[in-house]
């Protein structure tokens, strides 16, 4: 057995164990009886320990060191070079974090999550505050295991490898400065009638419409499943086993449909990865920002576009004749793109959404840098909402307790991917349109083949070979840039809000 085959087989064991771990998490979020939480926690803890032992095994480390020398001498094939690079990163991370630290952190998180649920039920942040304080200590300690320029960097690395806090600070500042005046101008306008989106829409009917749409978008029911969960998500166990979830609100048409399209974007990405990468660390998307660029591309850039609904609106009217028979396409399009001040991130429109993310990013920065004390976090949250969106939560559920992120993981690095994803969704889309100029005409006919082809050839096929920065450069010929996204938002919303006459004509 050559060294590289040996490495591949050792890593493949880890890969499959991690897939099993994901399967346990998926089951926990979908079908597991509530009472099984504790036993599931034990099962997952044991498995996590086995995975860590495999990843930090001396034989594996020795092998990686030998192969790194061969790499320097140029003996490795391309795919193995990338596999080795990703493996080194994963192993380095696993070696730096002491098992005892992880054990006590996960124990702490179990309690925190319980307290979080109770705090939400009671609508009282104070209940979970002491636990969050400990989570912040754990997050700082996690960062201390790595060399860094900024304390947030190691935490960002977990989801967006190699992106730096210093870059994000200035990038988000530029976004804020350029978007804020335009957003405020729109927020001053009278909004559109959205009442028809909040009629009664039977659950089964909503699900069958969502299934119809995602199938048309390329979701392959032979390789993928759609299930229900409280918080929609996508997960993957193998090249031919990808799962997404959605949730249905019978009084809100948008929830199930757009979350299904969003998760389908994640699934299309995973479906398109080179089948050769099955069983390796390359068989996954690159980072949270690249992944979100795909979910947001399908959810917003395509799924909330006029082109898309020119084709699909008559189909929607067939599905829900009573609810939509007296609503024109134009009114429907305006309603699903209505911009308003709101408190809940996941329900926000495309324009205000980024401020929800920037608020959280700035709070994470402040907590880790020490300029915001955890005791003042709730007030800092409310203050930022007043500042950017001129609105403030009336209670904790609408504010500091709305997102699950800080209560199930470290504090830091968990939100930037959403806004970077928005920005990148347009950068990729523009690059695709440059290569195939009929993409939008095709979308008007319900045909997504050219867009799929561009995404697959330039993004999906490469799996996890490159870093975020590398793939953006490779696919678009540019670094991550703001302009395409800002132009997209300004064109789209000027057209919706300021254009005289019908928006359908040109
Ligand atoms: Zn997502």
Give distance in angstroms: CA of 292 to centre of ligand 1.
5
Q: What is the pLDDT of residue 78?
A: 87
pLDDT digits (tens, 9 = 90+) for 255-264: 999 999 999 9
Give distance in angstroms: CA of 289 to centre of ligand 1.
9
Please identify every residue whose CB atom is under 5 Å from ligand 1, which is an ion.
295
Give distance in angstroms: CA of 66 to centre of ligand 1.
38
Question: Distance from CA of residue 37 to its chain's centroid?
Answer: 25
Give distance in angstroms: CA of 294 to centre of ligand 1.
8
Q: Is the pLDDT of residue 505 over 60?
A: no
**Which residue has 């203050």 as its token pair?**
383
Q: Is the pLDDT of residue 38 over 80?
A: yes
Give distance in angstroms: CA of 456 to centre of ligand 1.
18
pLDDT digits (tens, 9 = 90+) for 68-100: 887 666 778 888 999 999 999 999 999 999 989
State yes or no: is 177 an active-site residue. no
Give distance in angstroms: CA of 53 to centre of ligand 1.
30
CA–CA separation, 151 and 165 (whole Å):
8
Which tokens is 374 given?
């955890």
Radius of gyration of the chain (CA): 23
Give distance in angstroms: CA of 17 to centre of ligand 1.
24
Give distance in angstroms: CA of 309 to centre of ligand 1.
22
Q: What is the pLDDT of residue 72?
A: 67
Task: Return the closest-CA partner of residue 209 out of 258, 257, 275, 172.
Answer: 257
Give distance in angstroms: CA of 212 to centre of ligand 1.
20
Q: What is the pLDDT of residue 110?
A: 86
Q: What is the mean pLDDT of residues 314-341?
A: 97
Q: What is the pLDDT of residue 69?
A: 84
CA–CA separation, 160 and 216 (whole Å):
30
pLDDT digits (tens, 9 = 90+) for 204-254: 999 999 999 999 999 999 999 999 998 899 999 999 999 999 999 999 999
Which tokens is 371 given?
């300029």
Work out the number of other CB atoms within 10 angstroms of the CB of residue 320: 19
Give distance in angstroms: CA of 296 to centre of ligand 1.
7
Q: Which of 263, 292, 299, 362 is catalytic?
A: 263
**Interior CA angle at 288 toward 287 and 294, to 5°?**
95
Give distance in angstroms: CA of 233 to centre of ligand 1.
7
Provide the CB-side half-sphere exposure for 290 (13 A, CA): 29
CA–CA separation, 302 and 381 (whole Å):
32
Listed range (9-23, 99-113, 238-252, 410-424) with the worst mean pLDDT:
99-113
Q: What phi and psi values does residue 464 have, to the nearest 5 degrees? A: -100, 25
pLDDT digits (tens, 9 = 90+) for 439-471: 999 999 999 999 999 999 999 999 999 999 999
- The full length of the chain comes to 506
Q: What is the pLDDT of residue 107?
A: 86
User: What's the pTM value of the predicted model, to 2 decimals?
Assistant: 0.95
* Residue 491, CA distances (Å) to 305, 349, 499, 503 in order: 12, 15, 10, 12
Give distance in angstroms: CA of 73 to centre of ligand 1.
40
CA–CA separation, 156 and 416 (whole Å):
8
CA–CA separation, 393 and 367 (whole Å):
20
Give distance in angstroms: CA of 232 to centre of ligand 1.
8
Give distance in angstroms: CA of 125 to centre of ligand 1.
26
Q: What is the pLDDT of residue 11?
A: 96
Give distance in angstroms: CA of 295 to centre of ligand 1.
6
Q: Is the pLDDT of residue 506 over 60?
A: no
pLDDT digits (tens, 9 = 90+) for 121-170: 999 999 999 999 999 999 999 999 999 999 999 999 999 999 999 999 99
Give distance in angstroms: CA of 326 to centre of ligand 1.
33
């Amino acid at each position: 057995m050559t060294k590289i085959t040996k490495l591949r087989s050792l890593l493949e064991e880890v890969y499959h164990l991690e897939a099993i771990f994901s399967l346990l998490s998926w089951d926990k979020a979908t079908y597991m009886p509530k009472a099984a939480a504790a036993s599931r926690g034990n099962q997952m803890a044991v498995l996590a320990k086995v995975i860590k032992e495999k990843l930090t095994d001396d034989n594996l480390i020795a092998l990686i060191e030998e192969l790194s020398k061969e790499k320097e001498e140029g003996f490795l094939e391309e795919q193995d070079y990338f596999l080795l690079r990703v493996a080194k990163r994963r192993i380095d991370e696993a070696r730096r974090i002491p098992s005892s630290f992880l054990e006590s952190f996960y124990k702490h998180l179990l309690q925190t999550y319980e307290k979080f649920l109770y705090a939400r039920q009671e609508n009282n942040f104070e209940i979970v505050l002491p636990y969050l304080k400990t989570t912040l200590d754990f997050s700082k300690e996690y960062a201390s295991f790595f060399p860094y320029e900024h304390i947030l960097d190691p935490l960002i690395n977990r989801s967006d490898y190699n992106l730096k806090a210093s870059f994000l600070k200035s990038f988000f500042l530029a976004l804020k400065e350029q978007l804020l005046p335009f957003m405020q101008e729109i927020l001053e306008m009278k909004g559109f009638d959205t009442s028809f989106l909040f009629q009664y829409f039977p659950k089964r009917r909503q699900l069958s419409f969502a299934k119809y749409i995602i199938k048309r978008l390329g979701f392959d029911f032979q390789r993928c499943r759609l299930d229900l969960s409280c918080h929609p998500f996508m997960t993957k166990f193998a090249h031919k086993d990808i799962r997404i979830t959605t949730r249905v609100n019978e009084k809100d048409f948008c929830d199930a449909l757009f979350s299904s399209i969003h998760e389908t974007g994640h699934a299309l990405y995973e479906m398109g990865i080179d089948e050769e990468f099955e069983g390796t660390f390359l068989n996954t998307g690159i980072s949270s920002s690249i992944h979100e660029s795909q979910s947001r591309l399908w959810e917003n850039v395509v799924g909330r576009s006029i082109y898309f609904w020119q084709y699909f609106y008559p189909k929607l009217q067939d599905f829900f004749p009573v609810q939509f028979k007296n609503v024109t396409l134009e009114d429907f399009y305006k309603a699903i793109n209505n911009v308003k001040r709101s408190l809940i991130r996941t329900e926000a429109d495309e324009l205000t959404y980024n401020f929800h993310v920037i608020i959280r990013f700035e709070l994470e920065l402040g907590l880790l840098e020490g300029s915001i004390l955890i005791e003042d976090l709730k007030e800092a949250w409310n203050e930022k909402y007043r500042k950017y969106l001129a609105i403030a939560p009336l209670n904790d559920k609408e504010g500091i307790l709305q997102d699950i992120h800080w209560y199930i993981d470290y504090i830091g690095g968990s939100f930037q991917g959403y806004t970077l994803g928005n920005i990148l969704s347009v950068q990729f889309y523009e690059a695709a349109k440059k290569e195939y100029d009929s993409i939008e005409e095709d979308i008007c006919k319900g045909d997504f083949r050219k867009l799929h082809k561009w995404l697959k050839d330039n993004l999906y096929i490469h799996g996890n070979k490159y870093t975020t920065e590398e793939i953006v450069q490779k696919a678009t010929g540019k670094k991550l840039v703001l302009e395409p996204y800002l132009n997209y938002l300004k064109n789209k919303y000027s057209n919706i809000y300021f254009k005289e006459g019908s928006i359908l004509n040109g």
